[in-house]
Amino acid sequence: MNKQLKVSKEIVIRFSEVDSLGIVWHGNHVKYFEDGREEFGKQFGLGYMDVYRKGFLLPITSIHCDYKRPIEYEKPVIVEVVYVPVQAAKIIFDYTLLDKKSCTKLATGRTEQVFLDTNKELYLTNPDFYIDWKLKNGVSQEDKIK
């Protein structure tokens, strides 16, 4: 049974992130996802530089965001990030933006990332370090293939 890997990070909406109505500009939601994904990387040892030091890049190939309610200036927001285990050579995260006080869902989303080697060639199998990471974190039952 796989366990759920999840992190939460608080974000306070800055003036530069809102439009003239005091509502967060829609493009900033993706930035909040990124903030959460970076926090996930720090907590679970899967940050961009961790992956880069192993000889890989992790470009995003898909971003999806569903806007539920407006996010307002100075409102504290919680971004929750959940790792989605898959056997394919990719990393998927689900996101939820929540109003900190009411826990009202403000937005949800998902990103997918793939592995490129340092020559920017698509890696079609899970790199050994990632297989090890999945096993260590209890999100995979697959055996390491040599």
Distance set, CA 54 to CA 39, 51, 112 (Å): 19, 5, 19
Query: What residues contact residue 19 under an 8 Å CB cut-off, 6+ apart?
Result: 25
List CB contacts of 132: < 8 A, sequence separation 6 or more: 144
pLDDT confidence of residue 146: 41
pTM: 0.92
User: Radius of gyration over alpha carbons of the chain, in Å?
Assistant: 17
Per-residue pLDDT, 140 = 78
Instruction: List per-residue pLDDT tens for the chain, 146 residues long.
Output: 468 999 999 999 999 999 999 999 999 999 999 999 999 999 999 999 999 999 999 999 999 999 999 999 989 999 999 999 999 999 999 999 999 999 999 999 999 999 999 999 999 999 999 999 999 999 975 644 44
- Domain ranges within the chain, ordered by starting residue: 6-136
Q: Which fold has domain 6-136?
A: Thiol Ester Dehydrase; Chain A (3.10.129)
Return the pLDDT at 3.
84
pLDDT score of 141 = 57
Task: Check residue 142 and give its pLDDT.
Answer: 60
